[in-house]
């Protein structure tokens, strides 16, 4: 059917459906390919804010279950379940529960067969879990003994000032 027979939902409704994992693959693909509206960031923040169980203002989503939020005038990392993982520009992984898979038996729990797994003498898999809910937040595949590192730290001041054209709502 054509778009005239089925009017498109508003951008805010589409973003709400995206955050709630309610879009079909066809709808998601169309969304990824379409031009982004100037209000998309604010719509995304509002959509996430409507599903989190806490009140702090979301400054930037880092993932499906991880956010930078404003709390008491500062920016911190917080999980969907409400675990506070430290300053926004710190190593939030250090405050997570962690599963380290470093033996063949550990790796076979996630790989379908011993022929399809990795060599535990060369690498280990670290799973970083929310300390409250146990939800998987991130996974690293690194050499044994490698330091715990953060994949990236967003440049929050530049994003707000230069991309959004406004000041960051907290002191950094």
Cβ-Cβ contacts under 8 Å for 62 (sequence gap 6 or more)? 68, 77, 154
Contact 32, 23 (CB under 8 A): no
- Kindly state the tokens that stand for 90: 């710190």
Contact 148, 94 (CB under 8 A): yes
- Kindly state the tokens that stand for 92: 């939030």
Query: Chain-wide mean pLDDT for the chain?
Result: 89
Reported pTM: 0.85
75 alpha-carbon distance from chain centroid: 16
Specify the higher pLDDT residue, 148 or 30: 148
**Buried-state track 67-79, b at ≥16 Cβ within 10 A, e below 16:** bbbbeeeebbbbb
What residue segments make up the domains of the chain, in order of their start? Answer: 1-51
62-107: pLDDT as tens digits: 999 999 999 999 999 999 999 999 999 999 999 999 999 999 889 8
Mean local confidence (pLDDT), 5-25: 77
Confidence of residue 172 (pLDDT cuts 50, 70, 90): confident
């Amino acid at each position: 059917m054509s778009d005239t027979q089925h009017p498109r939902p508003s951008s805010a409704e589409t973003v709400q459906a995206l955050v709630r994992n309610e879009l079909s693959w066809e709808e998601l693909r169309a969304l990824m390919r379409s031009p982004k509206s100037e209000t998309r960031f604010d719509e995304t923040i509002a959509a996430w804010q409507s599903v989190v169980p806490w009140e702090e203002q979301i400054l930037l989503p880092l993932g499906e279950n991880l956010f930078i939020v404003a709390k008491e005038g500062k920016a911190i990392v917080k999980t969907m379940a409400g675990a506070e993982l430290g300053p926004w520009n710190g190593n939030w992984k250090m405050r997570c529960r962690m599963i380290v898979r470093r033996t063949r038996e550990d790796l076979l729990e996630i790989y379908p067969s011993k022929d399809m797994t990795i060599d535990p003498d060369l690498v280990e898999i670290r799973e970083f879990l929310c300390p409250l809910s146990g939800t998987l937040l991130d996974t690293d595949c690194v050499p044994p003994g490698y330091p715990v590192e953060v994949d990236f730290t967003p440049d929050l001041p530049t994003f707000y000032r230069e991309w959004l054209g406004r000041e960051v709502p907290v002191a950094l």
